[in-house]
Chains A and B, each alone.
Chain A
Amino acid sequence: MSNKLSEVINTLRRLEGPLQVSAGPEQVTVVTAAPALAQVCAQVAQACDARLATSVGCDERLLGRGFQVYFVFAADRAGAFITVQAELDENAPVFPSLTARLPAANWHEREMHDLLGFLPQGHPDLRPLVLHPGWPKGFFPLRKDAQLPPSPFQVAGDLDMPGVTGQGVYQLPVGPIHAGVIEPGHFRFFLDGEQILSLEAQLFYVHRGAEKLIEGRTPALALPVVERLCATCSASHAIGFCQAVEALSGVEIPPRARHLRTLYLELERLYNHLGDMGNICAGLSYHLGNYLGASSKEALVSLNAELTGHRYLMGVAALGGVRADLPGHAPERIRTVLAQAYRDLQELLSGITTSPSVLDRLENTGRLSREVALELALVGPAARASGVDRDARRDHPYLAYSDLKLLVPLRSAGDVYSRLMVRADEAQVSMDLVNQLLRTLPAGPVRTDVPPLPPRRQALSWIESPRGESVHWVQGGNDGTIYRYRLRSASYQNWPAVPQAVLGNIVPDFPLVNKSFELCYSCTDR
């Protein structure tokens, strides 16, 4: 056990209140009573310098434990995850809301309210989040005894949006179906002229109930669902899920599989970052940049197809390793395609940085301060562009990352330009990582057997996806199947920052600001 981790445990033991502290490798669990939950969480966050990483509400009545809530905090400097757990009353599942003290908990608590019927007392905004208005009353899908009424129903879906009012203030509704080929979401702008005074977003239009669907399945049958939660984070999610299952079953994957998984994760980051840079250019009508980004992305997803059979890397991950080894000519092909991608990136960057009209749109647009980024516990390029030095690959190393030399690029201005440049820098770091991986690729098998899930235990895993750290939480049931699974994707954590970043900007810049975060709706909505 590292010194830093024992420090964290000692700090936790000194906290006041009815606590029970237990520790495993890299993970600490604090059990408390429901009424003290908010206070304990706030203390843990402060004393251990930890941020909210994920939360899980769970109906464990079939495991003989009643309703449980888990709030998981990440202490990045100590490299540890701290879970605060409390049992709720079965007849009145109530706990004090964390949101006033930890704004990052806002969506987490609203989601528990929607899907489990838990009541976070004192929450400032308990409007529906995941299940839009119009769902049958009293239907809590993640409860084990949930049942949809037999009569057909249609979800009307119009959410009450108070926003701001005043003389000359008007509203501009956009979506859920947008003009471009993008995912659905409803945005309501409250405007004074062109200036955005407030933005309310209604998301979760692509809520597919995936977490419920996975319950009662073996991990092998759950994997195809997990990797289809989001196409552009597919490898990240599939590998993250496999890691959680392997941690639960106590399986160590072969060294070659560790390297190959890392390789796929970096290839995924690369095509995303180059494509996203092109998309940002589309958001500001800089078409040459858009074409360059799109062509470069096309070359990289074609490389994916050549290496793995799938353009978006679906099916590469398998429990216990990866599905198949690379073809023999892979290293050479990867180097060739990456060399071209590097040239494309340089051309794209020189186009952007030498064009005053492009820079004018990028700089100072959609500013997000470091304070807000910290408060909302942002992750990924969005956090790093606002000067929050946070990267799960370095802070909580997994797979082959501890063997690699990894630079974490950082910017401080928090505007669209910073988010673009963080991606550009990270893409170059990824190219370097891929080269390091190809140089040090160990020989041997690429897959090992995974025994059935042990009953009534849970495990956590984390992956730095292209959009930031995603956290997977898997719990085994009584019979080797999954009892509860939750994915907190990077996009889910970062969405609340978008309405903050657009304040004071003009409406025509919204697509640009939105694209600079490039958040997936699909792995947010699940």
Chain B
Amino acid sequence: MAEHSPAVVVTARSQPTQELAQAVNWKVQRLFRRSLQVRAVDAGSCNGCEWELVAALNAIYDLQRLGVDIVASPRHADALLVTGMVTRNLELALLRTFEATPHPKLVIAVGACAGTGCVFRGSYAVHPGVGEVLPVDVYIPGCPPTPGAILQGLLVAMGRLEPPARRQEFVE
């Protein structure tokens, strides 16, 4: 595996726009042959990030229409969405999930806890963020990040897999 390039922090937006949705769809079509499979792992979240991810799949945001889906097994996943600061009780299970995900894989840290540990930083029971345990590609800030911010994060994450010469960042 090539050396891990430094992680990107996404500048979050609150509501997904039509342009953003189209850009996600375009990248999914081109880079992932029409389907980006994502596995979500709760590594110590307050469940807020989970509910926002579930909201991204509801009839209003409908992530699936863009070719993005949440899969049941890490073995089917192109990307891991990790929420929470990584609790000690869950550390091993998270590492096993990461190992079970085939290469090339993206790790997306969702939410403030996954970024820095948020208000739980310094507790005996947690690590200060996913970056302490796994090589993170993209950080999506927010407490919790809205469905729009998660969409934006997926777009940036997919861009990491493009060859640098062909990399085109989404511009509004």
Where the two chains meet, the residues of A that have a C-beta atom closer than 8 Å to any C-beta of B are 131-132, 135, 141, 146, 148, 154-157, 176-177, 179-184, 204-210, 212-213, 224-225, 228-232, 234, 275, 291, 294-295, 297-298, 301, 311-312, 314, 520-522
Question: Are B60 and A230 closer than 8 Å at their CB atoms?
Answer: no
Q: Given A206-B84, A213-B120, are A179 and B90 neighbors across the interface (CB < 8 Å)?
A: no
Question: Are A229 and B46 closer than 8 Å at their CB atoms?
Answer: yes
Question: Are B51 and A312 closer than 8 Å at their CB atoms?
Answer: yes
Question: Are B123 and A294 closer than 8 Å at their CB atoms?
Answer: no
Min CB distance, A275 to chain B, in Å?
Answer: 8
Does B47 sit within 8 A of A, measured CB to CB?
A: yes
Q: Given A157-B92, A312-B144, are A228 and B46 neighbors across the interface (CB < 8 Å)?
A: yes
Residue from B47, B53, B85 with most neighbouring chain A CB atoms (10 Å): B47
Of the residues B60, B73, B93, contact of A205 by C-beta under 8 Å: B93
Does B54 sit within 8 A of A, measured CB to CB?
A: yes
3 A-B pairs closest in CB distance: A231-B48, A209-B125, A179-B72
| Number of interchain pairs (Cβ within 8 Å) | 135
Question: Are A209 and B126 closer than 8 Å at their CB atoms?
Answer: yes
Please name all residues of chain B whose beta carbon is closer than 8 Å to the beta carbon of A135 when the two chains form the complex: 88
Does B40 sit within 8 A of A, measured CB to CB?
A: yes
Of all chain A residues, which has the CB nearest B54?
A181
Does B44 sit within 8 A of A, measured CB to CB?
A: yes
Of the residues B47, B88, B119, contact of A231 by C-beta under 8 Å: B47
A297, B97: Cα distance in complex, Å? 31
Please name all residues of chain A whose beta carbon is closer than 8 Å to the beta carbon of B59 when the two chains form the complex: 291, 294-295
Question: Are A207 and B89 closer than 8 Å at their CB atoms?
Answer: yes
Min CB distance, B141 to chain A, in Å?
Answer: 15
Please name all residues of chain A whose beta carbon is closer than 8 Å to the beta carbon of B7 when the two chains form the complex: none
Question: Are A183 and B45 closer than 8 Å at their CB atoms?
Answer: yes
Question: Are B60 and A295 closer than 8 Å at their CB atoms?
Answer: yes
Of the residues A177, A230, A298, contact of B41 by C-beta under 8 Å: A177
Does B146 sit within 8 A of A, measured CB to CB?
A: yes
Q: Specify the main secondary structure of chain A where it touches its partner.
A: loop
Please name all residues of chain A whose beta carbon is closer than 8 Å to the beta carbon of B55 when the two chains form the complex: 294, 297-298, 301
Does B122 sit within 8 A of A, measured CB to CB?
A: yes
Please name all residues of chain A whose beta carbon is closer than 8 Å to the beta carbon of B122 when the two chains form the complex: 213
Does B70 sit within 8 A of A, measured CB to CB?
A: yes
Min CB distance, A380 to chain B, in Å?
Answer: 17
Min CB distance, A469 to chain B, in Å?
Answer: 20
Please name all residues of chain A whose beta carbon is closer than 8 Å to the beta carbon of B88 when the two chains form the complex: 135, 154-155
Additional pairs, 19, CB under 8 Å, beyond known A207-B87, A230-B46? A154-B92, A177-B94, A180-B70, A181-B42, A181-B54, A181-B70, A206-B44, A206-B45, A206-B89, A208-B125, A231-B144, A232-B47, A294-B55, A295-B59, A298-B58, A298-B60, A314-B143, A521-B47, A522-B47
Question: Are A213 and B60 closer than 8 Å at their CB atoms?
Answer: no
Q: Given A180-B72, A295-B58, A312-B48, are A206 and B120 neighbors across the interface (CB < 8 Å)?
A: no
Q: Given A154-B91, A206-B90, A228-B118, are A520 and B143 neighbors across the interface (CB < 8 Å)?
A: no
Question: Are B93 and A176 closer than 8 Å at their CB atoms?
Answer: yes
Please name all residues of chain A whose beta carbon is closer than 8 Å to the beta carbon of B91 when the two chains form the complex: 154-155
Min CB distance, B121 to chain A, in Å?
Answer: 9
A521, B47: Cα distance in complex, Å? 8
Please name all residues of chain B whose beta carbon is closer than 8 Å to the beta carbon of A205 when the two chains form the complex: 44, 87, 89-90, 93
Of all chain A residues, which has the CB nearest B53?
A181
Jot down 13 A-B pairs with beta carbons below 8 A, ordered by A.
Answer: A154-B91, A157-B92, A179-B73, A181-B40, A209-B126, A212-B123, A213-B120, A228-B46, A291-B58, A294-B59, A295-B59, A311-B146, A312-B51
Question: Are B87 and A208 closer than 8 Å at their CB atoms?
Answer: yes
Please name all residues of chain A whose beta carbon is closer than 8 Å to the beta carbon of B72 when the two chains form the complex: 179-180
Of all chain A residues, which has the CB nearest B121?
A213
Please name all residues of chain B whose beta carbon is closer than 8 Å to the beta carbon of A157 when the two chains form the complex: 89, 92-93
Please name all residues of chain A whose beta carbon is closer than 8 Å to the beta carbon of B43 when the two chains form the complex: 184
Question: Are A155 and B92 closer than 8 Å at their CB atoms?
Answer: yes
Min CB distance, A64 to chain B, in Å?
Answer: 25
A209, B89: Cα distance in complex, Å? 11
Question: Are A213 and B93 closer than 8 Å at their CB atoms?
Answer: no
A228, B84: Cα distance in complex, Å? 11
Question: Are B54 and A522 closer than 8 Å at their CB atoms?
Answer: no
Does B50 sit within 8 A of A, measured CB to CB?
A: yes
Question: Are B60 and A155 closer than 8 Å at their CB atoms?
Answer: no
Question: Are A208 and B51 closer than 8 Å at their CB atoms?
Answer: no
Please name all residues of chain B whose beta carbon is closer than 8 Å to the beta carbon of A183 when the two chains form the complex: 42, 45, 47, 50
Question: Are A294 and B58 closer than 8 Å at their CB atoms?
Answer: yes
Min CB distance, B117 to chain A, in Å?
Answer: 9
Please name all residues of chain A whose beta carbon is closer than 8 Å to the beta carbon of B52 when the two chains form the complex: 311
A522, B84: Cα distance in complex, Å? 11
Question: Are B46 and A231 closer than 8 Å at their CB atoms?
Answer: yes
Please name all residues of chain A whose beta carbon is closer than 8 Å to the beta carbon of B118 when the two chains form the complex: 228
Q: Given A208-B125, A301-B55, are A520 and B60 neighbors across the interface (CB < 8 Å)?
A: no
User: Which residues from 95 to 120 on chain B have a C-beta closer than 8 Å to any C-beta of chain A?
Assistant: 97, 118-120
Min CB distance, A302 to chain B, in Å?
Answer: 9
A244, B143: Cα distance in complex, Å? 25
